[in-house]
Amino acid sequence: MNRISVDIIKLGGSIITDKSSYCKIRRENLSEICKQLENLSNPYIIVHGAGSFGHIIAEKHSIQDGFEDRNQLDGIVKIRQDMTSLTQEVVSCLVENNVKAIGFQTSALAFIEGAEVLYFLNPIKKSLSLGICPVLSGDVLFTENDGFTIHSGDSIIDHFVRDFNVNQVIFLTDVDGLFEKDDNEETGKLVRKLTYNEFKDFKVEELQSDVIDVTGSMKGKVDEISTLLKDVEKVVILNGLFPERLGLVLKNEDVICTTIFGENSTQR
Ligand code: IPE
């Protein structure tokens, strides 16, 4: 199959769930986000995070450390159940907003062998070519060596930019974008646009968070974005707690967010 051109939209766990409260969904926000996705002309993939449907149990059972004892298996079973319901909530909300969407279980499409994540992507490619939006989530993947590990939504995207022709990746987070670290000021400054070279030297302001997250921080995201920029036209980080900003970005309008242009982009 040819490489399909798509956008990827990551719904961070912090904007579709209340990360501090077990399995609590931010239904109103999710619904406002889904409204922005009605009638888009370009094909897109939705990847959603886990928020309080994944991180709390993952931490409790040390899932990120791989197999250590059988008690962890209860954690894996629970996370899978909870993530199934979260994906179902996202899909239902999309369908209510006239988006043809289908949920795919990431852990049924991928397996880790050594350092390699092996994906079976044909069902996703076919759904896209038929005009159906695939919805995936961060998940617990089985691995050849350690039994299992957490595979974040960001890691899925990291993989997909090599298999699809990705125009833009839009990350919906709970902050307005990237904040530049400034030693002389108390709070960092939001950066609106960065070229690939500017981004390489960028020192991110780490915003404080007291919620449990087993897959990392904004600094971790910045490292992953550096890899993405080799393959995509641009990466946008925006505040998903203001869903109308997503709608404006999708219309290429100027809005509060950070846009980072890819290594081969001619835009600025
Ligand atoms: C985490 O996925 C997956 C699990 C804990 C099962 P993400 O790392 O993408 O989730 P968020 O966006 O941080 O909540």
Q: What is the DSSP string of 210-238?
A: -S--TT--HHHHHHHHHHHTTT-SEEEEE
Cβ–ligand 1 contact at 103 (below 6 Å):
no
- Report yes or no: 268 and 193 within 8 Å, Cβ to Cβ: yes
Q: Which residue has the higher pLDDT, 41 or 181?
A: 41
Distance 153 CA to ligand 1 centre (A): 6
Q: What is the pLDDT of residue 217?
A: 67
Identify each DSSP E strand in 56-215 by its residue range. Answer: 101-103, 110-113, 116-119, 133-137, 139-143, 147-151, 165-173, 178-180, 189-191, 193-194
Tell me the one-letter amino acid at 237.
I
Cβ–ligand 1 contact at 106 (below 6 Å):
no
For ligand 1, atom 4, name the residue with the nearest CA: 54
Q: What is the DSSP string of 244-257?
A: HHHHHHHTT---SS
Superfamily of domain 5-261: Acetylglutamate kinase-like (3.40.1160.10)
Tell me the one-letter amino acid at 54.
G
CA distances from 154 to 72, 133, 136, 142, 169 (A): 24, 18, 11, 17, 10
Cβ–ligand 1 contact at 82 (below 6 Å):
no
Q: What is the pLDDT of residue 118?
A: 98
Cβ–ligand 1 contact at 214 (below 6 Å):
yes
Distance 52 CA to ligand 1 centre (A): 9
CA distance 237 to 208: 17
| Interval 86-135: pLDDT, tens | 999 999 999 999 999 999 999 999 999 999 999 999 999 999 999 999 99
164-178 burial, b if ≥16 CB within 10 A, otherwise e? Answer: bebbbbbbbbebbbb
Cβ–ligand 1 contact at 12 (below 6 Å):
yes
CA distance 30 to 49: 12
Distance 14 CA to ligand 1 centre (A): 9
Distance 22 CA to ligand 1 centre (A): 14
| Interval 148-171: pLDDT, tens | 999 999 999 999 999 999 999 999
Q: What is the pLDDT of residue 43?
A: 96
CA distance 179 to 177: 7
Task: Tell me the residue length of the chain.
Answer: 268
Cβ–ligand 1 contact at 50 (below 6 Å):
yes
**Candidate of 16, 46, 55 to mutate for ligand 1, largest count of ligand atoms within 8 Å of Cβ:** 55
Q: What is the pLDDT of residue 201?
A: 85
What does pTM read for this prediction?
A: 0.94
| Interval 42-59: pLDDT, tens | 999 999 999 999 999 999
Q: Does the pLDDT at position 267 exceed 70?
A: yes
Distance 20 CA to ligand 1 centre (A): 13
The mean of the pLDDT values for the chain is 93
- Report yes or no: 51 and 13 within 8 Å, Cβ to Cβ: yes
For ligand 1, atom 10, name the residue with the nearest CA: 49
**How large is the average pLDDT for residues 181-195?**
82
CA distance 185 to 188: 7
Cβ–ligand 1 contact at 13 (below 6 Å):
yes
Index of the ligand 1 atom closest to the CA of residue 13: 14
